[in-house]
Structure 1
């Protein structure tokens, strides 16, 4: 398996992780069950698969949010956590230039710049969570506390209640 920037960062920080490769079918739309399919391929519960969502504030600040792929982000909670008035998703065609990653392979680790990062508090309910390794078809299994430390994240409530 080829090392990604995310893996090298964790190695340099002496943080343990497990990299898992899986067949990537190119389907990254959550409404089509991407979280459940990824979880099944990795042998973990769907709530352990965390997605990385990149937003921009009204002041054009890039903000990174990680939350369980089985839940939807609450934009009001995201704005409150970041202390901003507005958040809008970064367009897919801007993602690579801003982060160095493409949709479906966006990791909170090793972006082009260290953006403020927020991780949903439900991560702490899991022994390990899975985040993208920075390429499609590879996930990192990592203790949530280690990911929080590695990206200097703020832990907060981001879940949209149903």
Structure 2
């Protein structure tokens, strides 16, 4: 493995004394989260993407879903007791979270947002998600996220 550049996510997990495993891939030959999962040698149902939304109320919410699935916006809105939620525009992501598209992590955002993890994560002893930089993922137990984030678990994907 090439030298790992420590990200804010890794620094936060280390500071909190939370054990995690780093995964990384090199190159630009990935087009989707499923490609990333394949490069890292894990199931795309075990690798989660971080999606940021804005509700009709103006509040922002973070949703984590397996990379091979899409967020069901109706289920997502129900999970956070909102009338509706919509994906934020890509150009809004960095100013709001401090992360770029493809490197967005629920840990270490500029502001802490209510986060909803798809219930399918509980099928695994550990899941992978962005470490806050393209090409880097962290792996840890899904229940550990409850100690770090305002986390809710719900069914939020299209099936």
Which residue pairs with 1:31 in the alignment? none
Alignment partners' CA distance in 2, 1:109 and 1:12: 13
Q: Indicate the SS of the match to 1:46.
A: coil
Which of 11, 14, 21 is the aligned partner of 2:14?
A: 11
Q: Distance in 1 between matches of 2:17 and 2:77?
A: 33
The 3 A distance-change label for structure 1 pair 103 and 50 is same
Map residues 100-111 of structure 1 onto 2, 5 A cutoff: 100-111=98-109
Runs of 4+ deviating beyond 4 Å: none
Correspondence for 2:61 among 60, 63, 66: 63
Corresponding residue number in structure 2 for 1:20? 23
Which consecutive unaligned segments of at least 5 residues does structure 2 have?
Answer: none
Question: What does residue 145 of structure 1 align with?
Answer: 143
1:63-142 pair list within 5 angstroms: 63-142=61-140
Q: CA separation in 1, counterparts of 2:27 and 2:128? A: 15
Deviation at 1:26, TM superposition (A): 6.7
Deviation at 1:43, TM superposition (A): 1.3
After alignment, is 13-22 or 100-109 more displaced?
Answer: 13-22
Q: Tell me the matched-pair count.
A: 156
Q: Whole-Å Cα distance in 1 between the matches of residues 27 and 58 of structure 2?
A: 32
- Residue number in structure 2 paired with 1:155: 153
Residue of structure 2 in register with 1:39 after alignment:
37
TM-score by length of 1: 0.91
State the Cα deviation string for residues 48-74 of structure 1 (Å, max 9, x = none). Answer: 110000000112111000011111111
Please say if residues 24 and 136 of structure 1, whose CA atoms lie closer than 8 Å, have aligned partners that are also in contact: no
Any unmatched runs of 5+ in structure 1?
A: 29-33
